[in-house]
Amino acid sequence: MPIDPRPILIDSNILVFASIPSSAFHAGALVVLDRLDEENAPAWISTQVVREYLVHMTRPDVLGSRTLADLLEQIEKLAAHFTVAGDTPEVSRTLRGLIGQYGVHGKQVHDTNVVATCLSYGIPRLLTHNVADFQRFASEIEIETL
């Protein structure tokens, strides 16, 4: 596979899979994250991705023997490893535009905010396991998966 040096935003599901060895997608998530490291591709996460990661990872059936302190330490490692895109006024403006343009409703707003973050920060690619959730935005950003 050729090297793609363009920035990419990592969706929360990829980070969750990489963090849970029992996940059926664990190995694939690690492989693609390692590949991005080897390619030295500018890899991003967003504050929303961090929140979604915490939502999933703090569920009792997922947290398991880990403590909240362990999880918060993991968040610090992620923030040190990836560039973190914050929620800015530009992201909010772009989100509102995308909601109107694509007729977004309900929980789809979360995915739309990920796309708004990519567009606002000039990140042309998104790595996600939930390709179908982002398909409507294929003309806006490139959707990549495991």
Residue 72 has pLDDT above 90, yes or no: yes
pLDDT of residue 4: 83
The 3-class SS string of 59-82 reads CHHHHCCCCHHHHHHHHHHHHHHC
pLDDT of residue 1: 59
Tens-place pLDDT, residues 83-124: 999 999 999 999 999 999 999 999 999 999 999 999 999 999
* Right CATH for 8-86+124-144 from 3.40.50.300, 3.40.50.1010, 3.40.50.11030, 3.40.30.10: 3.40.50.1010
| Average pLDDT estimate for 40-51 | 95
Residue 2 has pLDDT above 70, yes or no: no
Whether the CB-CB separation of 18 and 33 falls below 8 Å is answered with: yes
Total-model pTM: 0.94
